Amino acid sequence: FISQKEPLILRRDQAYIGVLIDDLATKGTNEPYRMMTSRAEHRLTLRQDNADLRLTEIGREIGLVSDSRYSRFQEKLTELESIKNSLSERYKLADVSHIYEKRGETIPKTAVVSAKEMLKRNYITAEDLQQVSPTFASFKLSNIKLVETELKYDGYMQKQKRAIKESLRLESLPLSPDLDYTKIKGLRIEAAQKLQKVKPLTLAQAERISGVNPADITVLLLHFRKTNKLG
């Protein structure tokens, strides 16, 4: 390999090009391939506002990120952490009720509200928070918006993180390129033929092959545990 290093492989949860390459490698195509967001099962984490959070460290490791750019990235991480710590900041309802009214949100019945409670509302924005808080006015709007997105979609994103964790678990279970799938007991003929053609390198990759269903993956998992003597 170039520079005597391992090849860079971006996962499906790290970048759209990771989705593209994995699709072409595992599913193939008989027509021009179009990279659409609907192809990415982890698209909530593949947003344009967090591209640097996903890829800068990787770029740094392979020598594509300069010192000055990496320094700016570190400053952003520090500010994001400060923003998250400031979400506990509380305001008198009388001072922020006009924001709720302007956005058509139901006014809370409590005497005080936190910045986090405000940002979690559907129609209250980072700009609104900057209007009522000198603390948030001192932060970059783009960074507050990033935190706002994570707050508003937190339930969905937590669910996606669990899915990514399971995918990474399967990704860590390798399949031999010399494995003869036609000889694995319990594997459907269609699945065996597809697997024999693609020769996936991991269970996660096998799971994404068209024509391979969850029952087939269970058979492969049992085979993996048996051949590797795992419980």
Output the pLDDT for position 230: 52
Output the pLDDT for position 1: 55
State percent of the chain over pLDDT 70. Answer: 98
From-to residues of CATH 1.10.150.570 in the chain: 174-227
Q: Which of 224, 228, 185, 183 is nearest to 207 (CA)?
A: 224
From-to residues of CATH 1.10.10.1800 in the chain: 79-159
21-65 tens-digit pLDDT: 998 988 888 888 899 998 899 999 999 999 999 999 999 999 999
Mean pLDDT of 107-128: 96
Output the pLDDT for position 48: 95
Q: Which of 6, 59, 16 is nearest to 36 (CA)?
A: 16
Output the pLDDT for position 28: 80
CA distance 206 to 201: 8
CA distance 53 to 125: 22
Report whether pLDDT(171) > 60: yes
CATH 1.10.150.570 is held by the domain 174-227: yes
Mean pLDDT of 82-107: 97
Output the pLDDT for position 231: 46
Mean pLDDT computed over every residue of the chain = 93
CATH 3.40.50.150 is held by the domain 79-159: no
Model confidence band, residue 71 (pLDDT cutoffs 50, 70, 90): very high
